[in-house]
Chains A and B, each alone.
Chain A
Amino acid sequence: MKCRKCDQKAVINMRQHKLALCKDHFLSWVCDQTERNIQKYKLFTRNDQILLGVSGGKDSLALWHVLLKLGYQTAGLYIHLGIHGENQYSTTSQQYAQEFAQKYGLKLHIVNVEADFGKTIPQFSQANKRGKLKPCSICGLVKRHTMNDIALQFGYDVLITGHNLDDEVSVLFNNVLSWQVDFLRRQSPYIPAKEGLLPKAKPFCRFYEKETAAYAILADIPYIEDECPFSIGSTTIQNKQLLNQLEHDRPGTKLAFYIKFLQAKNSLFSEDYSTNAEELFLCPNCGQPTQQPGDCAFCRLISKN
Chain B
Amino acid sequence: MSIKVLIKNKEYLLEETDDLTVNKVFKRFNLLPEGYLCVRNGELLTEKDLLRDGDILRFIPVISGGQQ
B66 engages A231 (CB within 8 Å):
yes
B46 engages A241 (CB within 8 Å):
no
- Give residues of chain A (130-168) contacting chain B, Cβ–Cβ below 8 Å: 136-137, 139-140, 161, 163, 166-167
A213 engages B37 (CB within 8 Å):
yes
B46 engages A1 (CB within 8 Å):
yes
- Give residues of chain A (208-255) contacting chain B, Cβ–Cβ below 8 Å: 208-210, 212-214, 217-218, 225, 227-228, 230-232, 234, 236-237, 240-241, 244-245, 247-248
A59 engages B64 (CB within 8 Å):
yes
> Does residue B49 face the partner (Cβ distance < 8 Å to A)?
yes
CB distance from B51 to the nearest CB of A (A): 14
B66 engages A228 (CB within 8 Å):
yes
Q: CB within 8 Å of B: which residues of A?
A: 1, 10-13, 20, 23, 57-59, 136-137, 139-140, 161, 163, 166-167, 171, 208-210, 212-214, 217-218, 225, 227-228, 230-232, 234, 236-237, 240-241, 244-245, 247-248
CB distance from B60 to the nearest CB of A (A): 6
Q: CB within 8 Å of A: which residues of B?
A: 32-37, 39, 43-49, 60-68
A227 engages B44 (CB within 8 Å):
no
Given the known interface contacts A11-B43, A248-B34, the answer about A166 and B48 at a Cβ–Cβ threshold of 8 Å is: no
Partner of B63, one of A10, A241, A245: A241
CA distance in complex: A227, B65 (Å): 7
CA distance in complex: A136, B65 (Å): 9
A245 engages B32 (CB within 8 Å):
yes
* CB-based nearest A residue for B48: A1
A209 engages B62 (CB within 8 Å):
yes
CA distance in complex: A11, B36 (Å): 13
Contacts of B47 in A (CB 8 A): 13
CB distance from A190 to the nearest CB of B (A): 14
CB distance from A242 to the nearest CB of B (A): 11
Contacts of A10 in B (CB 8 A): 46
Partner of A234, one of B35, B43, B61, B66: B66
B44 engages A11 (CB within 8 Å):
yes
Given the known interface contacts A1-B49, A210-B37, A245-B32, the answer about A218 and B65 at a Cβ–Cβ threshold of 8 Å is: no
CA distance in complex: A137, B65 (Å): 12
CB distance from B66 to the nearest CB of A (A): 5
CB distance from A162 to the nearest CB of B (A): 10
Given the known interface contacts A140-B68, A213-B37, A247-B34, the answer about A11 and B62 at a Cβ–Cβ threshold of 8 Å is: no
A232 engages B65 (CB within 8 Å):
yes
CB distance from B42 to the nearest CB of A (A): 8
Partner of A13, one of B32, B46, B60: B46
